[in-house]
Chains A and B, each alone.
Chain A
């Protein structure tokens, strides 16, 4: 049987980042991808003839600078159509609010002077806190056991930087660390539209509402990301996010990795508790001394490895890994440009009238039901790159929250979610319904099927404080080394979580190098 040094399972951003790093250092690397195209969440499937395939991710917010630089992504096709996308918080009456610059540096629209000043203060504080915590993302998380080689120096440096903010700011970080987005915003601001846009930004892709305690921390993590060197800036690649996935794949191949698509892995083969290779779904066996799985930890541990290779505690914990996804994805093929009452269509458009609207949309999802008035983040990539659709026509891509991850009747829930979303869109862009040539609503269970993310969760495991840092994906497995020898975990389900960042894959590759020394 064919032999490789390393087999990477999954050609998503993390798998490709790890493959690139390992291949550059001389490993013979094979990347196996279940789908037809590499790119993971940055690769999509065609939903309407003549319209470009839409990936799961439609904006870049946390692409790892180390990954972008080392993989030389610009050389492999990454160009930013806009590396600092503005946000328009849509009003149903046309009184929009525009936030320009990273995290709304400037506000245009009806906002009181008091709120402008308050927002400037809160924004600076959020970015400062996120900035202080940012180095944690690029680290192997510490473990709480002795003798595991914790990066004490790096940790001390982060703690020192946090304390250097001053006693009051340090205490404030300690206060808001586990607080909720609603109270944080409500303490400072009064403009509903502004609070709504921020509350949605904070809760995108996580299974928490703005009122949920601990919801600020994932937001700080999100704000720790950067686009083209600018913290918290949102980026849209020329050609859409699929270009980013394709560039990463080309870079990995240029470094010497082999990517094989349409190759689903059925099982990891072991000899005792050492990795030997793997078996594909079609029965083919491949051998390798090292396997790097960028699939969700739950899938890797319970399906590919199997409970018999785990200790009882690990199996129980793996089963209890929470993977609820609350974000649905809507794709519309439009015959002409919609009119959101004059909003700039190149912006990221947000429909979330207030922080309460976001929470109200979360309420029914908790019980497996769909919301009457979902909130959403909209991108119209064809405004930036008209070649993605036939001349004069457009694609609208929206992340719609909150969708129930396991509704009793999945098809009925999908229909209800689509209907509710179209109603909300019609309210904000009258006439948009008549422009729709094709609509695709991907519920969390569809996202699970298509992208292999359990529960449809973007982060391959909920990004919540009880599943972060040394608790991610599981206590004792936080340093990328798997439970059996030669198996490494390198997915979004590991520290620091998802997004098209490649960070977990890169961190894992670094950990492998340290372990190899």
Chain B
């Protein structure tokens, strides 16, 4: 039989696209190489009794309209917002963060009254930029070189968004998009720890340092999400990040979709410039009128399509698409809750994100290590203990800790990561935690250390880049993934992309999957009844 669409990869974007297509009445099959589904949004039991969110670890960006359209809460998804966090300083102090705005300001004033004063202005400016960007997430970027009505009307829409703004507001926005987070924060704050805390969101997942231009914009990527309409809030998915993809899979099956896990796609079948299905690793063929790849653009076209079927210019741009990984991850099973000496007993900050890099300079130094092809000995960590909020992940009294680490290069001095490299990398992180929480090491029951190598091998992210492609301007919006192909299509008719390599990029957002499905349905002249606009929370 022939499917209307076969989707390669059961990551969150693949499943989002699959759900929308199945709801529109298409016969859809999702193929996943791993025995489990979820891509980088997974919950896995890697130590008996412990559930690990072993790739992505927090949730905020997932689009609320998708959650509603696909009825994910009905399929078991629950997002638990978490409280604040802390940045530990080298001198044994800390800067706390709270969800409560006034508490936050009081804590900031402890470090710098002036910074606390400026915090409101900072947040207000940030929200203004968020307000402009959010509607862009769910749209197909225009092709600047095209004169097609669709592209022209998209440009006109953009122009209209801007024409309502004052000159000063547009200039502020353009500056914000292009400036470094370090320079941007200098305009508001004076305290190094305050600045370092605010810079966190601007470097996570990027292969750039806080002094690199363009990083202020990345901050937006981490600030524009929301949990239940609470903009900028972050949360945990109850039961680990796999709960998101599990709910998506349930929603998909409920719409009549088919899911096949455990066998990967060998290649995309192409006949006369048109995709006709896929060949699986076990030799099976799945015929389909269209193939939708949730793999990144390089994996899709360099690994699963014949080069002969692609134009040279396109192939060159795919080859030079930047997917340098910059991060690693430690997943740790703990016998009990670690005690951070800087924090007062019972401090709520332990339920949030914890960091040790107390200045922009230290973050930038860690990036300098990455540039020279080494992981940092003084790494930047974004650490969480989700079990302080979601006790379902471990046996009672035990904890799961997730630490996202930068910077880790895709290769060590040009060579593949060895086990020894991986262990040294893990040790650098554990030593840093141990310094802030003496006795931490003794609580460790099990550690999984993940470098870009593991991310590539297991999740299929080329070079371990968690965004399926770096989020720099030359790879954003109409440039993502390839200029002229930002419309989720490819030079091969019927072969579509729906992963984070496409606009608007990475994070567990679901926007690329939904946008791709919208394009496919438009292409088939199907109504988009199941895609309702987002409610305005900003």
Contacts and interface: CB of A to CB of B under 8 A. Distances in A.
Given A144-B171, A183-B322, A174 B472 contact: no
Given A214-B178, A214-B214, A465-B178, A471 B171 contact: yes
Interface string A90-114: 0000000000000000000000000
B174 interface: yes
A128 interface: no
Contacts of B145: 163, 167-168, 170-171, 174
B102 interface: no
Contact of B179 (A145, A174, A466, A470): A466
Contacts of B179: 466
B479 interface: yes
A167 B371 contact: no
B484 A466 contact: no
Interface in A36-74: none
A187 interface: yes
Contacts of B144: 170-171, 174
B473 A213 contact: yes
Contacts of A180: 472
Nearest to A176: B474
Given A170-B144, A170-B145, A471-B175, A145 B474 contact: no
A179 B475 CA distance: 9
A471 B197 CA distance: 28
Contact of A466 (B143, B174, B322): B174
B478 A174 contact: yes
A359 B369 CA distance: 12
A211 B322 contact: no
A313 B168 contact: yes
Contact of B214 (A178, A360, A366, A475): A178
Contacts of B472: 178-180, 213
A206 B249 CA distance: 51
A213 B364 CA distance: 15
Nearest to B483: A171
Contact of A144 (B170, B175, B178, B212): B170
B320 to A, nearest CB: 4
Contact of B364 (A176, A214, A366, A466): A366
B171 A211 contact: no
A465 B483 contact: no
B187 A175 contact: no
B368 interface: yes
A475 B371 contact: no
B336 interface: no
Interface size class of A (residues with CB under 8 A): 35 or more
A212 B214 CA distance: 9
A212 B213 contact: yes
B213 A466 contact: yes
Given A367-B361, A465-B213, A178 B474 contact: yes
Contact of A471 (B174, B322, B484): B174
A471 B170 CA distance: 10
B315 to A, nearest CB: 13
B167 interface: yes
Contact of A213 (B143, B168, B212, B365): B212
Given A143-B167, A183-B322, A320-B187, A211 B474 contact: no
B214 A213 contact: yes
Nearest to A184: B474
A5 to B, nearest CB: 31
Interface residues of B, number: 38
Which of A178, A213, A322, A475 lies at the interface centre, i.e. has the most chain B CB atoms within 10 A of its CB? A213
Given A179-B472, A214-B178, A466-B175, A476 B167 contact: yes
A213 B174 CA distance: 15
Given A163-B145, A172-B483, A179-B473, A475 B167 contact: yes
Interface string B173-190: 011001100010011000
Nearest to B188: A320
Given A211-B371, A322-B183, A471-B171, A178 B483 contact: no
Contacts of A316: 187
A504 B144 CA distance: 31
B171 A179 contact: no
B211 A475 contact: no
Contacts of A208: 213
A213 B371 contact: no
B367 to A, nearest CB: 9
A179 B179 CA distance: 13
A360 B372 CA distance: 9
Nearest to A183: B322
A464 interface: yes
Contact of B167 (A145, A177, A187, A356): A145
Given A144-B171, A187-B320, A171 B371 contact: no
Interface in A328-376: 356, 359-360, 363, 366-367
Contacts of B146: 167
B283 interface: no
Interface in B351-381: 361, 364-365, 368, 371-372
B495 interface: no
B297 to A, nearest CB: 14
A104 B463 CA distance: 34
Interface in B438-493: 472-474, 478-479, 483-484
Interface in A172-202: 172, 174-180, 183, 187
B164 to A, nearest CB: 12
Interface in B132-190: 143-146, 166-168, 170-172, 174-175, 178-179, 183, 186-187
B400 to A, nearest CB: 36
B178 A466 contact: yes
B313 interface: yes
B208 interface: yes
Contacts of B365: 367
A258 B474 CA distance: 49
Contacts of B178: 178, 214, 464-466
A213 B143 CA distance: 22
Nearest to B168: A475
Contacts of B171: 144, 470-471, 475-476
Contacts of A175: 474, 479, 483
A187 B324 CA distance: 14
Nearest to B183: A322
Interface string B288-322: 00000000000000000000000001000000101
Nearest to B176: A466
A438 to B, nearest CB: 35
A367 B322 CA distance: 27
Contacts of B484: 167-168, 171
Q: Which 6 A-B pairs give the minimum distances between C-beta atoms?
A: A475-B171, A171-B483, A179-B474, A178-B473, A167-B145, A145-B167
22 contacts: A143-B167, A145-B166, A167-B145, A170-B144, A175-B474, A180-B472, A183-B322, A213-B213, A213-B472, A214-B178, A313-B168, A320-B186, A320-B187, A366-B211, A366-B364, A367-B364, A464-B178, A466-B178, A475-B167, A475-B168, A476-B167, A476-B168
Interface of B: 143-146, 166-168, 170-172, 174-175, 178-179, 183, 186-187, 208, 211-214, 313, 320, 322, 361, 364-365, 368, 371-372, 472-474, 478-479, 483-484
Given A167-B145, A213-B472, A360-B372, 20 more contacts: A144-B170, A167-B484, A171-B143, A175-B483, A178-B472, A178-B473, A178-B474, A179-B474, A212-B213, A213-B212, A213-B213, A214-B178, A214-B473, A366-B364, A466-B174, A466-B179, A471-B174, A471-B175, A476-B167, A476-B171
